[in-house]
Structure 1
């Protein structure tokens, strides 16, 4: 069912959430699917993004969201919360057991506070092993590989992304996520290069949904930008409360 949502004429718009209330708001606003934002969840519990959230903490939040919402839920697992394919597969299986239908896994890691791309061959081997372990366990889950050449502004990001997409497709990826890609020409080249659905993310200057559909994009997500907008709105309201010495702004 979730995989089919990536094959429709209209792109799948993922509402990125971080708790039960945000998930239920997405459901009331007729989104077809929700996905967690690792950055939003990390900030919510007072941590920095980059796998600083414990897997047990993530499971607690995801379980609550899954129980509360009827929407298909995909979860950002960063680089997998494990150093071996067996641990990563185990983590994914635990997520599926609480109702998760998809995961995002990243081909970059944070080392001493700095994010860097993983070796693409090593990542591909890991992905292939994880997929094999999931198959052995009889677990179906949509694996969306987040490839971070654009996010990290590496040289020749398009060429680097194309090479990685080819490897990841052969290793069992169901979809490819390229955060921070925004140029129409680059997007068009990427979507034409693979049969896998391409996922882009909300960033300034990203084309609108109509244009993205024409470019062949099949999935559009929001990252942590919705959460950041909510915090900015809260800050504005609280500023008004202090400045006006009144709660009127809360009831506008």
Structure 2
């Protein structure tokens, strides 16, 4: 079985410019993204959930997600990381078992988030995941998403300090990176990057500086998040509405990728 190296995935976070991760949701989107030059593939949990008929927000059955990861791994040759939301359980041992199943498919990185939950519980999950990765002999890249900004968990003036407090705890538990969803202001990006040993990940967000500036601010990874499937849903709505409500079909024909181009990708 092919095994994209976990060490390669770690190395990709040490470049002069941030690692760009266009997040995929199924095997087809992953293969397409890789064909366009992505150095690694990460999933969007929202996109995966929607594609399987579930709401985002820890509703996705782990067994269906593991199967989806296996199907993605089958068609790509670059490292694969999966966004597992909160781990789909409050029990650290159960979360570690789920992550072990993902590692069995070839996954070399994960995102796991604190949401509105207890950071100390997340620390216990991280510790259990790290122990499982050691048992598996996989140097798993554990990227921890904190929702301090995305959920406005503390007043604005306290956000940087709160992120850094959580980052210290997550680092001690065994994390490699810190993903601050909603972080976009340059001075705050720099303060967080300078204040933690964890490698900083941000997401495409309104007001985010250009990629050329992010490197100088200390960002090591930039995620597309769920913006790709969200945008595609909007485009699909236009095409389907036009098909159902109008006589004119040219917009669908003009915007379609060639059948042969898609088919030969697999």
Give the structure-2-normalised TM-score.
Answer: 0.87
CA contact (8 A) 1:74 1:103 kept: yes
Runs (4+) of structure 1 moved beyond 4 Å?
A: none
1:177-208 C-alpha deviation (Å, 9 max, x unpaired): 11111111110001101222100011122111
CA contact (8 A) 1:107 1:146 kept: yes
Residue aligned with 2:64, SS: helix
Gap regions ≥5 residues in structure 1 = 109-115
Q: Match of 2:55?
A: 48
| Residues matched between the structures, number | 244
Q: Match of 1:129?
A: 128
Residue aligned with 2:234, SS: helix
CA contact (8 A) 2:93 2:125 kept: no
Residue aligned with 1:177, SS: strand
Are 1:194 and 2:196 counterparts?
yes
Q: Match of 2:234?
A: 232
1:93–1:129 CA distance, 2 compared to 1 (3 A): closer
Q: Match of 2:18?
A: 11
Q: Match of 2:261?
A: none
CA apart distance, 1:151: 1.1
Counterpart of 1:218 (choices 217, 220, 229) is 220
Aligned-residue RMSD, C-alpha: 1.4
CA apart distance, 1:243: 4.4
Q: Distance in 1 between matches of 2:32 and 2:111?
A: 22
Q: Match of 1:111?
A: none
Q: Distance in 2 between matches of 1:130 and 1:247?
A: 51
Q: Distance in 2 between matches of 1:70 and 1:15?
A: 15
Alignment of 1:1-252 (within 5 A): 1-108=8-115, 116=116, 118-155=117-154, 156-252=158-254
Residue aligned with 2:219, SS: coil
CA contact (8 A) 1:241 1:249 kept: no
Q: Distance in 2 between matches of 1:137 and 1:70?
A: 21
CA apart distance, 1:147: 0.9
Q: Distance in 2 between matches of 1:99 and 1:236?
A: 37
CA contact (8 A) 2:130 2:140 kept: no
CA apart distance, 1:121: 2.6
Q: Distance in 2 between matches of 1:235 and 1:121?
A: 42
Q: Distance in 2 between matches of 1:238 and 1:136?
A: 49
